[in-house]
Structure 1
Amino acid sequence: MSSWSDSLRFAFQPVINLTTGGVTGLEILARPEAGDILAEARRDPEVDLRLAVSAVRAAVRKETLLPLYVNVFAGTLADLGGLATLHDAVREAGRLPWEVTIDIGPPCTHVPWRALLDAVAELRGQGFRVCADGVGDGDIPLRLLVDLAPDLVKLDASLLARPAAVRAMRTLCEELGALLCVEGVETEGQCATALAAGAQLAQGELFAPPARLPVADVYVPPRSPGVVSVPRTGPSVREFVRPAALLPATASAGQVRALLTGSPDVSGVLLVDRAGVPVRSVHRSRFLLSMSGRYGHALYADRPAAKLGDPPRTVGVDATAWEVLEVVAVGDRGRTSDDVAVVDAHGRCVGVVRLADLVRALAETRVEEAAGLNPLTRLPGSDAITAEVDRRIAGGRAFTLSWLDVDHFKQVNDGAGFAAGDELIRAVGRALREASPDTARVGHIGGDDFLVLADQEALDPLASLVLDALWSAGGHPVTLSLATVLCPPGSVTDHRQAAACLAPLKKAAKALQGTSWVLGRAGAGGHEIRRGSERAPAPAG
C-alpha cells in the first residue's frame, strides 16, 4: 500500500429512510489528511479500487452491522471489470455482497459504455447492489442510466429547486425498479420537498454529518400534515425496508446470541444460504428465551442456530404493504411480531420490514383520509383528489377530471328545505361512488360540488348512470351539470393547471338547458357538448 494510506481516514454518513426515519445504511467517505488521493483515484483505477477495499476494511473495524455504500468511479469499473479484489475483501470481512451497494460515480462522458455495463453485470452476479450516484449534477446520460437499471439512484439536492424533475426521476425509478435517494439535504424545507416529490431515501448534514464513528442517532424532521408520501392505492414495501441482520445458514446458536446481545436494536436474524436466500428466521425474544433456560446455553450454544429458527416469511420487493399484512395474517399468530424478509427477483434478501412500521403508516394514512371526509357524504375533499391528480401527472398517466353539481341548488334548498337538499346531495354522492370503478376517485368539495378523477374509458358508463337518473327534491325535478377535461400525458403540469382547464368547461355546462355534459381537452380550445341544449335567445324588445 502506498504512503497515502498512512494519512487516509474514513468517515461514515447515514442514508435515511424517509418513511420510517431509520438508518438504512452507511456511505463510507474517504477523508485524506494530506494530498489529493481522490483526484489520483479518478485518474488511476487501481488506486480507486484500493480505496474501495480500504473503505470496507475500515467499516469492519468499526463493527457496524449496517449495510454499506462504497464509492467507485465509473471509469474504474470499465477498466477493471467486476472488482474481484473488492468481492474478496467483503467476504474476508465477514460481510455478504448483498449488504454492500456500489455507488458508481461520474465522470461518465468518456467511459466506454459496453465495458461499464459488462462490469455492472458481473457485480450483480457476485451479489452486489448498484447505485447511480451524482445524478442531476454529474454527466451520466439518461440512456446510460436506463441501461444500468440501478437498484438505487442518488439525486443531487440542487434539483429540489425543481420538484417536477424529482417527480419525473421518481417515475423513472419506479419503471426501473429502483429507489430514489436525495443526497446533500441540509434544511427541513429540502427534506419536506424531497418527501413530497416522492423520494424514499435521503442523506445530508440535516440528518447527520459524516463522522469517524457510525452514528447511533440521527435527526429526522417531523412530517408535515400536508405531505403524503404513501399512495393510498397501496404503499410499496420498498418504503419500509430496514437493514436485515444476516448470518450464514451454518451459523451456530452461539454466533446468533453474540449478535443479538451486542445489538439490542436487532429484532431478529435471518439465516441465508450462499446465494443470500433466506432459509430460516430467528426471532429475538423466542431465541433468547430458549437460550436462557437452565440448560439452554449448554444444549444449544454449539448447535446450528437453524434448529431454533422458523421458516422465513418473505415478500417480493414489488409487494405492497397490504400484501405484507396478508402474509402476516395467514400465518401462525404467535409470529405476528416477526420481521418479514423482502427478497429480490432472485430470492436474495434485500432487507426486512416490521409490522409496526406498516401499521403505523397505514393508520396515519387512514386518519388523514378520515379527517378530510365530508361529513354529509363521507367522501374525501379536494385535497385527496388533487394529490392523486399530481401523482398521476408525475407518473405520466392520462386521466380525466370532472366537476359535477346540482343546477340552481339554492332554489332547491329554498323551495324544498335544507333536509331535502342534504338528502339529494347524499344520493348524488352515493350514485357517483357506485358508478365509479375502483380505479376512479370521487370527492365532495363542498355544497353541491363534486370532483371525479377517472380513466377516459370509465367516462361514458359513469355519465350514463348518473345523468340518466331522474333526480328530484321535495317532489320537484332537478337537473345536473357535468364538465370534463381530458388530460393526456404532458398536457398539464399540476392539479392547479388541470383545474384551470376545467373552469371554462364548467361555465359552458351551466349555460346549457337541462341536464348537461361538456367535454374538453387540456391545451386545446373549444369543447364538445355531450348532453344539454343551447338556451334560446331572449326575444327582442
Structure 2
Amino acid sequence: MHSWTDTLRFAFQPVVNLATGGVTALEVLARPESGDILAEARRDPELDGRLAVSALRAAARAERLLPLHVNVFAATLADLGGLGPLQDAVREARRMPSEVTLDIVPPFTHVPRQALLEAVTVLRGQGFRISADGVGDGDLPLRLLTDLAPDLVKLDSSLLARPAAVRAMRTLCEHTGALLAVEGVETERQYAVALSAGAQLAQGDLFAPPARLPATDVYVPPRSPEVVTAPRSGPSVREFLRPAALLPACASAGEVRALLTGSPDVSGVLLVDPSGVPVRSVHRSRFLLRMSSRYGHALYADRPAAKLGDPPRTVGIDATAWEVLDVVAVGGRDRTSDDVAVVDRHGRCVGVVRLADLVRALAESRIEEAARLNPLTRLPGSEAITSEVDRRIAAGRTFTLSWLDIDHFKQVNDGAGFAAGDQLIRSVGQALQRAATGSTRVGHIGGDDFLVLADPDRLDSLVAAVLDAPWSADGLSVTLSLATVVCGAGSVSGHQQAAACLAPLKKTAKALHGASWVLGRAGRTGHEIRRGAPAATAQAG
C-alpha cells in the first residue's frame, strides 16, 4: 500500500522584501501528485502536523539558509496544543525556531479561541514566529487577529482592489508591531498598489512562482517615480530585514568557512546561543582573509569560530534606521560594513540589516522630503503634518493641532512690498522652528498660514515664543492669530475631522483684536479666548 508521502512533493516560493528587493524567506508549499491530502489534513490535525514536519525536512534537504514559512491550520494548533514534533525537526535540521514562521491558515470558524491562543503562546515561547495567513479573504475575526498578535499579517491579493483596506491594515500592523505582506501578486499593477499602500513584503508569480528548487533570484519591477510609500514617522528596521546566517556559538571556523564559501551572498555569520541570542559576529571579508593567510587554515579550521569574531552589534525590532546608524557609528571604522543584528524583546535574532540598504532608503526619503518643502521657509507642507496627525490618532495619543497666520497680511504686502512680506513669513517660520522641541512638528501650508502639531505640555512655550514677540514688516507693526484644537484619544477619527474642529476656532481668532489665541477641544462645544479681545470691546476701550 502506498503511503501519502509517496505522492507528496514540496515547492518553494520566495517571500520578497519590497524595500530591498531581496528574498527574505521561503514558503514551503505541499504539492500532492494525486489525491487531496490538504483537504484530509484540514480534517485531521495529526496529519496536518506531520505535513508541517515533512515540509521542514524537505526544506532542510534543499540546503538553503533562508528562513522558512510553514503552513498549519488553525484547528490543528488548537487541537494539538502546539507542534512538539516540529521542534524536534528544527533541531534535526540544525535550524533555530526563530528561523521558522508558522503561517496559521483559515478556517477559524468553530476553532476554540482560547485553545488556539494558548497553543500560539507555547510556540512563541519556543521561539517560533507567527503569521496570520489569508487575511481579507478568510474568516479571521479582527478581535482574534489582534489577540494573536502575529509577527506578520499576510493579506490576500484581492484586497489590492481596495487600497484603503490595505492602508488601514498597515496602520493596525504598525500599532501592534507586525509586518504586512501581500500574497498572490501576479501583475506589476498589483505590485505598485501593494507598495504604495504600505505593504512591506510580498510573494506571488510576478516575483517567482513556486518551484521544486528554491529560487533566490527574483524579478522585482522597477519603482515608478509616482509611487509613494505609506507615510511613517521614520523608517523602521523591520522594512530592511534580511535573513541572518546563523550557526551555533560552538561552531568551528571550518563550518563557518564552508557556509561562506557555499553562499557568496552571505556577508557575515552570527553565532547564537541555544535560544537564538547572538553572541559573536563573524564578518565575511575579515574572516576569510585570516583563514586564507599562510597557515591560517591549519591554525583555525578546527578551533571555535568565535575566536575570529567580534561582539555583535544589535538593535531592537522597534528601532528606526537612524538608530541603526548610531550603532554603526560606534567603534572602529573597520566594522562599518558589518551587518547589524535585529533582535526581538527576548534578545533573539530575527534578521540582519545592511548599512547600504539603510543609506539608500534614507537618501531617497530625504530627496522626497526636500521636494515637498516650501521654497520660502524650507518647512514641510500640510501633507507631512496631516500624515503625522493620522499616526498619532492611530497610536491613541493626545495632541494639539494649531493654525497660525499673520493678521491683515494683504495690507502688509500692499504697504511694505512683497519682499518685506516674504521676509516676515520666513521670520515667523524660523521662530516656530526654534520653538519646536521634542515631537513638535511645524508645517507651512502656503501664503502666511502655518500648522503646528504638538503635545499639550509643549504648547505654552511655543505660543509665548511667537505671540509675545514684536513683529513688523518694514516698520509696519504686525500681529498674529492662533487657533488650537486639543484632540484627546478617540476624539477624532482622522486629520480631516481634526481640521474641521479647527476651522471655527480659526474664524473666532481672526475676529479678535491684536495678537490672539483661541483654544477648543475636539468633541466639546465652546472655546477659550486665551489672548486677544473682541473687536467691539477693543474699540470701546
**Normalising by structure 2, what TM-score?**
0.91
* Displacement after TM superposition at 1:111 (Å): 2.0
Question: Which residue of structure 1 aligns with residue 343 of structure 2?
Answer: 343
Could you tell me how far apart the structure 1 residues matched to 2:210 and 2:505 are?
55
Question: Which residue of structure 2 aligns with residue 93 of structure 1?
Answer: 93
Task: Give deviations 1:90-148, integer Å, cap 9, x for gaps.
Answer: 22223222211111112222222333233223323332222222233322333433333
2:243/2:352 contact within 8 Å kept:
yes
Could you tell me how far apart the structure 1 residues matched to 2:163 and 2:400 are?
23
2:195/2:227 contact within 8 Å kept:
no
* Displacement after TM superposition at 1:77 (Å): 1.4
1:168/1:394 contact within 8 Å kept:
no
Distance 1:157 1:453, change over 3 A: farther
Task: Supply the AA of the counterpart residue of 2:30.
Answer: A
Task: Supply the AA of the counterpart residue of 1:56.
Answer: L
Question: Which residue of structure 1 aligns with residue 484 of structure 2?
Answer: 484
Could you tell me how far apart the structure 2 residues matched to 1:175 and 1:350 are?
19
Question: Which residue of structure 2 aligns with residue 387 of structure 1?
Answer: 387
Task: Supply the AA of the counterpart residue of 2:3.
Answer: S
Structure 2 counterpart SS, 1:28: strand
Distance 1:353 1:44, change over 3 A: same
Structure 2 counterpart SS, 1:231: coil
* Displacement after TM superposition at 1:174 (Å): 3.8
Question: Which residue of structure 1 aligns with residue 451 of structure 2?
Answer: 451
* Displacement after TM superposition at 1:434 (Å): 2.3
Structure 2 counterpart SS, 1:405: strand
Question: Which residue of structure 2 aligns with residue 227 of structure 1?
Answer: 228
Question: Which residue of structure 2 aligns with residue 257 of structure 1?
Answer: 257
Could you tell me how far apart the structure 1 residues matched to 2:317 and 2:2 are?
42
Structure 2 counterpart SS, 1:147: helix
1:18/1:200 contact within 8 Å kept:
yes
Distance 1:52 1:343, change over 3 A: same
Question: Which residue of structure 1 aligns with residue 28 of structure 2?
Answer: 28
Question: Which residue of structure 2 aligns with residue 146 of structure 1?
Answer: 146
After TM superposition, the structure 1 stretch with the greater mean CA deviation from structure 2, 353-362 or 479-488, is 479-488
Question: Which residue of structure 2 aligns with residue 331 of structure 1?
Answer: 331
Structure 2 counterpart SS, 1:484: strand
Unaligned ranges ≥5, structure 2: none
Could you tell me how far apart the structure 1 residues matched to 2:487 and 2:156 are?
31
Task: Supply the AA of the counterpart residue of 2:148.
Answer: L
1:393/1:489 contact within 8 Å kept:
yes
After TM superposition, the structure 1 stretch with the greater mean CA deviation from structure 2, 410-419 or 172-181, is 172-181
Distance 1:390 1:206, change over 3 A: farther
* Displacement after TM superposition at 1:425 (Å): 1.2
* Displacement after TM superposition at 1:253 (Å): 1.8
Question: Which residue of structure 1 aligns with residue 155 of structure 2?
Answer: 155
* Displacement after TM superposition at 1:295 (Å): 2.2
Q: How do 1:72-151 and structure 2 match up within 5 A?
A: 72-151=72-151
Task: Supply the AA of the counterpart residue of 1:220.
Answer: V
Q: How do 1:173-212 and structure 2 match up within 5 A?
A: 173-212=173-212
Task: Supply the AA of the counterpart residue of 2:178.
Answer: A
* Displacement after TM superposition at 1:268 (Å): 0.5
Question: Which residue of structure 2 aligns with residue 409 of structure 1?
Answer: 409
After TM superposition, the structure 1 stretch with the greater mean CA deviation from structure 2, 34-43 or 515-524, is 515-524
Question: Which residue of structure 2 aligns with residue 370 of structure 1?
Answer: 370
Task: Supply the AA of the counterpart residue of 2:41.
Answer: A
Could you tell me how far apart the structure 1 residues matched to 2:421 and 2:287 are?
63
After TM superposition, the structure 1 stretch with the greater mean CA deviation from structure 2, 169-178 or 329-338, is 169-178
2:198/2:229 contact within 8 Å kept:
no
Question: Which residue of structure 2 aligns with residue 247 of structure 1?
Answer: 247
Distance 1:376 1:245, change over 3 A: same
Q: How do 1:434-513 and structure 2 match up within 5 A?
A: 434-490=434-490, 492-513=492-513
Task: Give deviations 1:311-369, integer Å, cap 9, x for gaps.
Answer: 21122222222222222211222111011111222222111111111222222222222
Task: Supply the AA of the counterpart residue of 1:377.
Answer: T
CA RMSD of aligned residues (A): 2.7
Could you tell me how far apart the structure 2 residues matched to 1:530 and 1:114 are?
53
Task: Supply the AA of the counterpart residue of 2:468.
Answer: D
Distance 1:432 1:138, change over 3 A: same
2:8/2:32 contact within 8 Å kept:
yes
2:480/2:515 contact within 8 Å kept:
yes
Could you tell me how far apart the structure 1 residues matched to 2:490 and 2:309 are?
52
Distance 1:490 1:90, change over 3 A: same
Task: Supply the AA of the counterpart residue of 1:132.
Answer: A
Could you tell me how far apart the structure 2 residues matched to 1:397 and 1:192 are?
31
Distance 1:393 1:156, change over 3 A: farther
2:10/2:30 contact within 8 Å kept:
yes
Structure 2 counterpart SS, 1:257: helix
Distance 1:88 1:196, change over 3 A: same
2:266 paired with 1:277: no
* Displacement after TM superposition at 1:63 (Å): 2.1
Could you tell me how far apart the structure 2 residues matched to 1:224 and 1:504 are?
38
Could you tell me how far apart the structure 1 residues matched to 2:461 and 2:437 are?
10
Task: Give deviations 1:475-497, integer Å, cap 9, x for gaps.
Answer: 11112222334444455554445
2:231/2:387 contact within 8 Å kept:
no
1:168/1:395 contact within 8 Å kept:
no
1:444/1:451 contact within 8 Å kept:
yes
Distance 1:519 1:164, change over 3 A: farther
2:402/2:485 contact within 8 Å kept:
yes
Structure 1 counterpart SS, 2:346: coil
* Displacement after TM superposition at 1:293 (Å): 1.9
Could you tell me how far apart the structure 1 residues matched to 2:51 and 2:204 are?
22
Distance 1:522 1:212, change over 3 A: farther
Distance 1:161 1:461, change over 3 A: farther
Task: Give deviations 1:251-279, integer Å, cap 9, x for gaps.
Answer: 22222112111111100011112221212
Could you tell me how far apart the structure 2 residues matched to 1:322 and 1:451 are?
26
Distance 1:203 1:525, change over 3 A: farther
2:206/2:219 contact within 8 Å kept:
yes
Could you tell me how far apart the structure 1 residues matched to 2:416 and 2:292 are?
75
Question: Which residue of structure 1 aligns with residue 48 of structure 2?
Answer: 48
After TM superposition, the structure 1 stretch with the greater mean CA deviation from structure 2, 138-147 or 290-299, is 138-147
Could you tell me how far apart the structure 2 residues matched to 1:3 and 1:174 are?
45
Question: Which residue of structure 1 aligns with residue 287 of structure 2?
Answer: 287
Could you tell me how far apart the structure 2 residues matched to 1:96 and 1:10 are?
21
Could you tell me how far apart the structure 2 residues matched to 1:273 and 1:528 are?
60
Task: Supply the AA of the counterpart residue of 1:245.
Answer: A
Could you tell me how far apart the structure 1 residues matched to 2:159 and 2:525 are?
34
Could you tell me how far apart the structure 2 residues matched to 1:2 and 1:508 are?
83
Could you tell me how far apart the structure 2 residues matched to 1:163 and 1:519 are?
36
Distance 1:399 1:226, change over 3 A: farther
* Displacement after TM superposition at 1:526 (Å): 6.3
Distance 1:81 1:527, change over 3 A: same
Task: Supply the AA of the counterpart residue of 1:26.
Answer: L
Distance 1:461 1:186, change over 3 A: farther
* Displacement after TM superposition at 1:16 (Å): 1.9
Distance 1:496 1:118, change over 3 A: closer
